[in-house]
Amino acid sequence: MLTLKIWIVQALFIFFTTESVGELLDPCGYIKPESPIVQLGSNFTAVCVLKEKCMDYFHVNANDIFWKTNHVTIPKEQYTIINKTASSVTFTDISLLNIQLTCNIRTFGQIDQNVYGIRIISGLPPEKPTNLSCIVNEGKKMMCQWDPGRETYLETNFTLKSEWATEKFADCKTKRDTPTSCTVDYSPVYFVNIEVWVEAENALGKVTSDHINFDPVDKVKPSPPHNLSVSNSEELSSILKLTWINSSIQGFIGLKYNIQYRTRDASTWSQIPPEDTASTRYSFTVQDLKPFTEYVFRIRCMKEDGKGFWSDWSEEASGITYEDRPSKAPSFWYKIEPSHTHGYRSVQLIWKTLPPFEANGKILDYEVTLTRWKSRLQNYTVNDTKWTVNITNDRYIATLTARNLVGKSNAAVLTIPAYDFQATRPVTDLKAFPKDNMLWVEWTAPNESVNKYILEWCVLSDKAPCIQDWQQEDGTVHRTYLRGNLAESKCYLITVTPVYADGPGSTESIKAYLKQAPPSKGPTVRTKKVGKNEAVLEWDQLPVDVQNGFIRNYTIFYRTIIGNETAVNVDSSHTEYTLSSLTSDTLYMVRMAAYTDEGGKDGPEFTFTTPKFAQGEIEAIVVPVCLAFLLTTLLGVLFCFNKRDLIKKHIWPNVPDPSKSHIAQWSPHTPPRHNFNSKDQMYSDGNFTDVSVVEIEAANDKKPFPEDLKSLDLFKKEKISTEGHSSGIGGSSCMSSSRPSISSSDENESAQNTSGTVQYSTVVHSGYRHQVPSVQVFSRSESTQPLLDSEERPEDLQLSAFTYMVLVRWGRGIMRLARKHMMKTGHREAK
Amino acid sequence: MSRREGSLEDPQADSSISPLPHLEAKIHQTHSLARLLTKYAEQLLQEYVQHQGDPFGLPGFSPPRLPVAGLSAPAPGHAGLPAAERLQLDAGALSLLPPLLDVVRRHQAELNPRALRLLRRLEDAARQARALGAAVEAVLAALGAETRGPRPEPAVAAAAAAATDAGVFPAKVLGLRVCGLYREWVSRTEGDLGQLVPGGPA
């Protein structure tokens, strides 16, 4: 009873709670339909119905309803007022996939209230699925797939339905991630026709594909044959027998097969003719295979009548055909060692291993025979591919055969000519060129019949020796490619030697690249000579290791700091080039690029400065100037020398030192002498050997003026008073100045006496310093003493000054007379 | 790679809807089905015996070959009958076998609920027996022979169920007998159709 009461209380609580919550959440109205799904492009109408209670509360009616889609108000033109409480909105041609539609009212105070909201989902009904097809993987369940048609934008379910004539099978519903295929849940039964179709359904409709009716065995994809094995036959080296185990379905249906095979190193498959494998079988013998060659096989099957699907390929199986005797003789050549002992030479016979398709088995050894002309044959068995033997200088015939488990190859024959054999008859028009990533060699065959050609090649390098590889070609071949492991950007030296019956012909060589590339280093340019307006550039040829191709040309780029770059192309054979029209005293930057057929590479930049003057230009200016200067100087010196008297007189007259003056005897009859440098003579004791005597000639037609005589008298007086104190006028000297020297005591008188006279003479007063001249003469003073020497002896200053003045006046007169005399003399000499 | 290598489906097999098979093709298809089901029936019988325990797996075990719900093994004189009559007998037997196999499956589901493969085989066998019976009747119809309507399944099933109510061992024996009958009639049908297949035994 208590339990019942508790239960009732709980029930009432829940009831009231629910009711009250319902009241709280009771909207003002609602929209119909509630969750519409609309077809894209169709029309749609929604109706909003207001509740009376709400209308009264908010004092609104249907006229106050406005609609919004995705928060955007819908134009009122799309509204329809159905009655007081209901308003509808109509959309035409819906194109949005997802629309939020709300019904709203505007209450008192322009406050918008949201009444109700719905979400309109748009989409398309499903299209009829097409291309329904099924596959039955053997041992697995049937899987069908189809094209679903257009995008519906809605959740669309696809259901694969199937039935027999006698019963229906369970539906196969697609998974969300694979809506276009479905695998049935039951094992298919072969030989019973089944009908299959697909139903596509979403909110906007349901559609069914066409029904297909088939026997599952006609849609089967068998499991591939397994345990494929390959066995060879010792009797036949050209066959391999395949055996396999068929899949279990072979018990009910006939199978046909595809058998494919290839050699181990091949990438493409060959196929056995399908008509040979058109029925169920467990083995097959493949014929026409190469001996001692590994073949890889694979096999697949399908229903014999071609209905259904091919199985996957089986796992690959391989087998090797049995050996056969070598089908070809090895390539055979020789090299003669450089060292040669008297009467013998060392010959290295070399040969190539046979390729597998010619060896037809494992080569066990080689048999070499050597036959000297008209001599016994010698047999050797060699395991290597070279053999060195000393032979005489005679001609030899060598043969070579390769041997495998089954037999021997044909013999390769080689004539080793005698020591003095002169090779001739080379091939002509030898060419080498790359093509299809191979280096081809082509030549014109000599007129004579050639047994075979030997092609040798090696990589030219500055760092490594030329290690030769070689190959042999038949005598009918005149174009082949080098079958070595050639590298790109390497220079190959290729030689072709025709081999005649009597020995090898002379060789022809050519250089070639498999593939050229730009040089890995550019040439280093430098200046050989730089002139004012030109520069001679020089460079070294690039080493062959960095050329990477044939250097076709060089380009020299040069520029100043501010100028544009200039490019000059230079032929590859040159190693120097002269840049002309350069600007003097300018810094130039020059670099050089070397070009192959594939591009170029710049070398380092080099700078040089053009000089301001051309070579020899300075010398051309300086030397003439110097010469001119020297010449002028010389001429000046000569002139001075010639005119020294005149110059001395004007520029540097001798100023006699009165303290060292001598009074010479006036000797009108003494011829004038002009020895100016004989001081010693002049100052020798009592001898005036170097005295200039001015002769006052009568030719002047003048007699001594009385003033002069008067002065002489005065002089005499003074002489008496001064007891031999002498005075005179010095001769001219280049190193002395001409300056009149006058006496301070008798200046006015002296000036009057000398101004209008020409009486110049040195009055040499006898008795100077206790010397008594025999005759009274006028003599020039040869003194070099400074004029003011008397300052050192103040006691003599007064007298000396006076004497000096007198003598200067006399000297001037004498100088004038001398000039006139010289002029006259010059006239006479000229005449 | 050739087109053949890259093509999964032979162009000739592209038709998604099989044409109405003519008589020869129908006989051939039904014969193949009978051959396939014979193999399946053999496998079913072996698997059934495996799951029943001793003495069913013992070499000397040989329960009596009694008729089940009126269905007996093909009579020795069956081969001497005309082809159409033989096929009519085959079709009749095949129409009786599915309910019996269903009864056996239900019983095995109680006895060996973990023997899922056996249960699956029993289910498939019932379905396949119906399919083969329908195919034989289609051949008969194509041959212009009358087809005998199948016996009412409830009666057969009731008879079989009554047989299993006796106990586990009788139920197992019934199952063994049904599986045996299924194999014999499918095999017999294969033989009978084989005589109709072009190039088959006369």
- Report the pLDDT value the prediction gives residue B16, as an integer from 0 to 100: 43
Reference A118, options A103, A101, A96, A130; nearest CA is: A101
Distances (CA, A) of A35 to A119, A157, A312, A693, A694: 6, 20, 51, 159, 158
Is pLDDT at A697 greater than 90 in this prediction? no
ipTM for the assembly? 0.81
> Percentage of chain A with pLDDT > 90?
38
Instruction: State the Cα–Cα distance between residues B30 and B22, nearest whole angstrom.
Output: 12
pLDDT at A151 over 60: yes
- A235 pLDDT band, cuts 50/70/90, is confident
Confidence of residue A739 (pLDDT cuts 50, 70, 90): very low
Angle of the A706-722 helix axis to the A794-830 helix axis, nearest 10: 140
Average pLDDT for residues A598-612, to the nearest whole number? 91
The residue count for chain A: 831
Given CB atoms, is B18 within the 8 Å cutoff of chain A? yes
Q: For chains A and B, count residue pairs whose Cβ atoms are closer than 8 Å.
A: 88
E strand spans, A209-340: 212-214, 220-221, 226-232, 240-245, 255-263, 270-271, 283-286, 294-303, 317-320, 332-336
Contact A306 B18 (CB under 8 A): no
Of B1, B13, B35, Cβ closest to residue A218: B13
Q: What is the mean pLDDT of the segment spanning A192-196?
A: 91
Greater model confidence, A672 or A244: A244
Residue B157 is predicted with a pLDDT of 65
Report the residue from A253, A260, A306 with minimal CB separation from B13: A306
**Nearest CA-CA distance, residue A212 and chain B, Å:** 5
Q: Please name the residues in contact with A183: beta carbons below 8 A apart, sequence gap of 6 or more.
A: A141, A142, A143, A144, A172
Q: Give the span between the Cα atoms of A75 and A67, in whole angstroms.
A: 8
Q: How far apart are CA A526 and CA A247, in angstroms?
A: 81
Per-residue model confidence (pLDDT) at position A56: 82
* Residue at A679: amino acid letter: K
Q: Do A215 and B29 touch (CB under 8 A)?
A: yes
Average pLDDT over residues B86-105: 90
A305 contacts on B by Cβ (under 8 Å): 12
- A309 vs B9, B16, B127: nearest CB: B9
Peptide linkage before A417 cis (omega within 30 of 0):
no
| Residue in B closest to A144 by C-alpha | B16
Please answer whether residues A191 and B29 qualify as being in contact, where contact means their C-beta atoms are separated by less than 8 angstroms.
yes
Contact criterion met (CB below 8 Å) for A133 and A307: no
CA-based angle B16:B22:B26, to the nearest 5?
85
Mean pLDDT value of segment A387-391 = 89
Res B88 pLDDT > 50: yes
Q: What is the mean pLDDT of chain A?
A: 79
- pLDDT, position A746: 42
Q: What mean pLDDT comes out for the span B3-13? A: 34
Give the number of other Cβ atoms within 10 Å of residue A217's Cβ.
24
pLDDT band of B74, cuts 50, 70, 90: confident
Nearest CA in chain B to A133: B16
Is B189 an 8 Å CB contact of chain A?
no
Among the listed residues A793, A682, A808, A677, the one whose alpha carbon sits nearest the alpha carbon of residue A737: A808
**Cβ–Cβ gap B12/A253 under 8 Å:** no
Is A274's CB within 8 Å of B4's CB?
Answer: yes
Interface check for B130 against chain A (CB to CB < 8 A): the answer is yes
Task: With CB atoms and an 8 Å threshold, state whether A310 touches B39.
Answer: no
Give the residue with greater pLDDT, A679 vs A287.
Answer: A287
Residue of B nearest to A259 (CA): B5
Distance CA A236, CA A199 (A): 61
Q: Which residues of chain B make contact with A306, given a CB cutoff of 8 A?
A: 10, 12-13
Question: B12 in contact with A at a CB cutoff of 8 Å?
Answer: yes
> Residue A729: which pLDDT band, with cuts at 50, 70 and 90?
very low
The mean pLDDT value for A772-776 works out to: 46
Lowest mean pLDDT among A320-334, A354-368, A801-815, B127-141: A801-815
CA of A213: which chain B residue's CA is closest?
A: B17
pLDDT of residue A731: 40
Q: Count of CB atoms within 10 A of residue B39's CB?
A: 17
What is the pairing mode between strands A142-147 and A157-163? unpaired
Do A310 and B124 make contact, defined as CB atoms within 8 angstroms? no
Helix boundaries (H) for A318-391:
356-359
Nearest CB neighbour to A192, from listed B5, B12, B131: B131
Q: In what helix (H) or strand (E) does residue A408 lie, and over which residues does it extend?
A: none
- In chain A, helix, strand, coil percent, each to 5? 20, 35, 45
Using a CB-CB distance cutoff of 8 angstroms, which residues of chain A are in contact with residue B134?
164-166
Interface-testing mutation among B12, B36, B121, B139, with chain A (most A C-beta atoms within 10 A) = B36
Report the alpha-carbon distance of residue A121 to residue A153 in Å, rounded: 9
Interface-testing mutation among A147, A166, A252, with chain B (most B C-beta atoms within 10 A): A166
Q: B179 to chain A nearest CA, in Å?
A: 19
Q: pLDDT of A309-322, one tens digit each?
A: 999 999 999 999 99
Report which of A796, A819, A639, A665 is spatially closest to residue A731, judged by C-alpha positions: A819
Q: In whole angstroms, give the CA distance from residue B65 to residue B56.
A: 14
pLDDT above 70 covers a percentage of chain A that reads: 75
Interchain CB contact of B39 with A (< 8 Å): yes
Residue A664 has pLDDT above 60, yes or no: no
Interchain proximity A189–B128, CB inside 8 Å: yes
Buried b (16+ CB within 10 A) or exposed e, A160-198: bbbebebeebeebebeeeeeebbbbeebbbbbbbbbbbb
* Comparison of pLDDT for A365 and A800, the residue scoring more: A365
- Provide the pLDDT for residue B173: 86
Q: How far apart are CA A389 and CA A400, in angstroms?
A: 14
Whether residue A323 contacts residue A360, with contact meaning beta carbons closer than 8 Å, is answered with yes
Partner-chain contact B33 A190, CB within 8 Å:
yes
Pairing type for strands A576-579 and A98-107 reads: unpaired
User: What is the spatial distance between Cα A307 and Cα A770, in angstroms, rounded to a whole number?
Assistant: 170
Report the interhelical angle of A706-722 vs A747-755 (nearest 10°): 140
- Name the residue facing A218 among B5, B18, B124 (closest C-beta): B18
User: Residue A670 class from Cβ within 10 Å (0-12 exposed, 13-18 middle, 19+ buried)?
Assistant: middle
Strands A111-123 and A37-39: parallel
With beta carbons less than 8 A apart as the criterion, state whether A613 and A532 touch. yes
- Report whether A342 contacts A374 (CB < 8 A): no
What confidence category does residue A71 fall into, taking pLDDT thresholds of 50, 70 and 90? confident
Distance, CA of B123 to CA of A296 (rounded, Å): 45
- Who among A258, A260, A306 is closest to B12 (CB)? A306
CB contact under 8 A, B29 and A253: no
The partner residues of A157 in beta bridges, in order of sequence, read A201
From A162-176, A259-273, A803-817, the region with the lowest mean pLDDT: A803-817
> Between A726 and A641, whose confidence is greater?
A641
Mark residue A701 as left, alpha or beta (left: phi above 0; alpha: psi -120 to 50; beta: remaining).
left
CB-nearest partner of B16 from A165, A214, A260: A214
Beta strand spans in A250-293 (E)? 255-263, 270-271, 283-286
Residue B2: name the closest of A73, A781, A468, A260 by CA: A260
User: Cβ contacts (< 8 Å) between B5 and chain A: which residues?
Assistant: 258, 260, 269
- Residue A16: pLDDT above 60? no
